[in-house]
Amino acid sequence: MSRIWIVAVALLIAPAFWLFGPTQAVATRLPGVAEWQANGLPDPTAAPAAIAAFFARLAPAEATELARRYPDVVGNLDGAPTALRYAANHSSPDRRILALDRRGDGRIVEVLGDLATASRVVILIPGVDTTLANFDTGLGGVERRAPAWQARQLHHELPGDTAVIAWLGYDPPEGIRRAALREDRAAAGALALRRFVDGLVAQRPDQRIVLVGHSYGSIVAGRAAAYLPAQVTDIAVLGSPGMGVADRAALGGTARIWAGSAPDDWTRKLPGIRVFGLGHGRLPIDPAFGALPLPADDVTGHDGYFATGTSTLRAIAQLATSRSGEIPRSASALASSAGSWTSSLSPSSPGSSIVS
């Protein structure tokens, strides 16, 4: 084979190696860690329960001093006391910031409600092109795309004992390019999400947690599903391009899986395949996937799920406040303001009770 042919073949193969291949998850190192560890403080990668135990042994003044000296670490440290993280992130009475990292595209986690008293928590996981810069305003200045706005919309529908968290705790892909077609960012996000949830459970093991993943955020939830604690009872995905697997059984975990998609959501046109690390598998709205359906017939577009009055917004609110072990009797009942509930045979068996 001549050198020209060798070069030609190499040029054809190289893009395949770049586009295809095993998914790689890279955990994000907290800011300010070097100085923190240089002073003999706990490894910030330790289990959140261990971090919680460390802070529990400190006097209040000692914990406050750590937050003052190492705000970047304490403010983002899963397992650290919630109030201490708020203080480290310079939260105000109007905005409670549970994590803040200004590096790169940035990360931020905002809490609506009182985590100290809430019996239920809903975590919203955004998708592609979400950054610290557009967290409040939305991509392109479109408010309905903003995680902060979506969280407020949902929180408005909920009773006082339920908190909502807008969780931009990972680095979503930029645009619909290679990173969005693959799941490396989602896998890294899943690692961060698992730690975050474990941190919540370390502080309040009695809380019931619901995850809501929008678009690429649904892949993050899917990647984390098998490793989440029992406190996570439900995972709802909206406008999902896939969850990285062929069906509910392949996800693992015990949480019930719900899926909804607007009639004109562009993700409906995706092929629902995954080949050598490219693509995200069968769409969760496909009955063959085995998810419980969420109503979305009155939703417009890919980012209208949290608009006031939509059946999806009401359904998520009802799901968050439902009695443990119960699911909506039907899609129409779920979409109504009152709702109608029936006990499922098994919360961990997606086929045991289906919304008709």
pLDDT digits 0-9 by tens, 38-97: 999 999 999 999 999 999 999 999 999 999 999 999 999 999 999 999 999 999 989 999
Higher-confidence position of 266 and 15: 266
Please indicate, yes or no, whether residues 106 and 166 belong to a single structural domain of this protein: yes
pLDDT digits (tens, 9 = 90+) for 25-34: 677 888 889 9
Please indicate, yes or no, whether residues 149 and 41 belong to a single structural domain of this protein: no
What DSSP letter does each residue of 200-219 carry, written as one string?
HHHH-TT-EEEEEEETTHHH
Judged against a pLDDT cut of 80, whether residue 312 lies above it is answered with: yes
Least reliable range by pLDDT among 23-32, 132-141, 238-247, 319-328: 319-328
Which of 54, 73, 90 delimits the end of a domain? 90
Q: What is the mean pLDDT of residues 246-268?
A: 96
Please report whether residue 352 resides in a domain.
Answer: no
* Rounded percentage of the chain residues whose pLDDT exceeds 70: 83
Please indicate, yes or no, whether residues 191 and 56 belong to a single structural domain of this protein: no
Residues 6+ positions from 14 with CB-CB distance below 8 Å? none
Q: In the numeric block, which tokens belong to residue 71?
A: 């705000």
Please indicate, yes or no, whether residues 43 and 168 belong to a single structural domain of this protein: no
Higher-confidence position of 53 and 343: 53
Please indicate, yes or no, whether residues 70 and 103 belong to a single structural domain of this protein: no
Q: Give every strand in the sheet of 256-260, ordered side by side.
A: 96-101, 107-112, 162-168, 120-125, 208-214, 232-238, 256-260, 292-293
Please indicate, yes or no, whether residues 117 and 266 belong to a single structural domain of this protein: yes
Please indicate, yes or no, whether residues 221 and 285 belong to a single structural domain of this protein: yes
- Angstrom CA distances, 251 to 50, 198, 283, 285, 350, stand at 27, 19, 13, 15, 11
Please indicate, yes or no, whether residues 82 and 197 belong to a single structural domain of this protein: no
Task: Find the domain containing 282 and state its range.
Answer: 95-343
pLDDT band at 14 (very low <50, low <70, confident <90, very high): very low
Judged against a pLDDT cut of 70, whether residue 233 lies above it is answered with: yes
Please indicate, yes or no, whether residues 210 and 311 belong to a single structural domain of this protein: yes
Please report whether residue 247 resides in a domain.
Answer: yes
Please indicate, yes or no, whether residues 155 and 202 belong to a single structural domain of this protein: yes
Give CA–CA dist 318/296, Å, rounded: 14
Please report whether residue 233 resides in a domain.
Answer: yes
Please report whether residue 11 resides in a domain.
Answer: no
Q: What is the mean pLDDT of residues 141-149?
A: 97
Please report whether residue 13 resides in a domain.
Answer: no
pLDDT digits (tens, 9 = 90+) for 291-301: 999 999 999 99
Instruction: State the pLDDT at residue 138.
Output: 97
Domain count, the chain: 2
Q: In the numeric block, which tokens belong to residue 168?
A: 């931009």
Least reliable range by pLDDT among 225-229, 279-283, 323-327, 337-341: 337-341
Contact (CB, 8 A) for 251 and 257: yes
CATH code: domain of residue 302: 3.40.50.1820
Please report whether residue 300 resides in a domain.
Answer: yes
Which of 69, 90, 111 delimits the end of a domain? 90
| H helix intervals, the chain | 3-19, 33-38, 48-56, 60-69, 71-74, 82-88, 147-156, 178-181, 184-203, 217-224, 248-251, 311-321, 331-335
Please indicate, yes or no, whether residues 85 and 101 belong to a single structural domain of this protein: no
Please report whether residue 141 resides in a domain.
Answer: yes
Please indicate, yes or no, whether residues 186 and 80 belong to a single structural domain of this protein: no
Mean residue pLDDT of the chain comes to 86
Which of 90, 114, 136 delimits the end of a domain? 90
Please report whether residue 10 resides in a domain.
Answer: no
DSSP state of 309: T
